[in-house]
Copies of this chain bind each other. A is one copy, B any other.
């Protein structure tokens, strides 16, 4: 089976990572690569690590360029995918790495992103309860945000054991911000420095985490989420904590995690005594996590690591494509990181 794919937004970090993974996928033929201001450039200029595609020319991001592929990956700023998807029709599977179709609540969309809600698509985190089935054979997939991926996986198995409020502080590499030319993303500013942003519930991934955990819990979960930028290109390490219900037994916690992920190929609860590091998942589709209980406080603490560009974005997109097309879910993906 050969699947012909296109990538819209191939000059950016998410687009580059999609291509890196798709080059290693046995069933893929890489078709059109599009960009916005970089259209006309050779890909080498923007993705010098993708040597097999170095001479490919970036085209304009239009329906004409994208149509006729089996799968179109969208790695575009939010607000662009709904119209493109409609015009591409249902013959084409559309995997959207942007935010447009992640939130199910139109009110949430309007509050956090502004403008009109484009509707929700099957949510591309198959490891959450009930999600995998919606992805098999899907023609549209909303790939989750990077922070929601790691945070939701870190806390979903515990929602029955904890009180209603969780606190998440997630340390992230800078590639999550894309290639935006902002002063605070310059190497000179980033190296040697840590900084928080979107503090106090201001980050747009907050309602997405809230949506996921509330759905898993079957009741509203409140989420305090603070992202912290650290001097590394890739990776998120999320520290996730919540008060355990009085009745929750300590050994029930580990059991819940081991049970939840026993058959998941990409989510690994580490053996006791081991703690995740982001470089162990660099470039891989794995999530590594460890879970413990602070017994003085009766508090659950989960630490989870993910590569924001791989399982956090492009790896999830490929995983969802596999599900949508009926391919084995792990095809072309790996749990092996590039370290040190």
Interface residues of A (CB under 8 A from B): 13, 16, 20, 23-24, 44-45, 47-52, 165, 167, 169, 171, 173-175, 177, 179, 181-183, 185-197, 199-201, 222-224, 226, 228, 230-235, 237, 239, 241, 243, 268, 270-271, 274-284, 286, 288, 290, 292-297, 299, 301, 303, 305, 334-340
Q: How far is the CA of A199 from the CA of B292 in the complex (A)?
A: 8
Contact of A191 among B174, B239, B297 (CB under 8 A): B174
| Nearest 3 interchain pairs by C-beta | A187-B190, A49-B337, A193-B279
Number of copies: 4
Structural contact, A191 and B338, CB atoms closer than 8 A: no
- Residues of chain B lying within 8 A (CB to CB) of residue A48: 274, 276-277, 280, 288, 337, 339
A-B contacts besides A179-B183, A199-B301, 8 pairs, CB < 8 Å? A165-B297, A169-B226, A174-B187, A187-B233, A193-B277, A199-B239, A224-B301, A233-B279
Structural contact, B191 and A233, CB atoms closer than 8 A: yes
Contact of A279 among B23, B49, B277, B305 (CB under 8 A): B49
Structural contact, A50 and B340, CB atoms closer than 8 A: no
A-B CB contact pairs (8 Å), 8 listed: A48-B337, A49-B337, A185-B187, A190-B191, A192-B234, A193-B277, A194-B305, A196-B237
Structural contact, A194 and B237, CB atoms closer than 8 A: yes
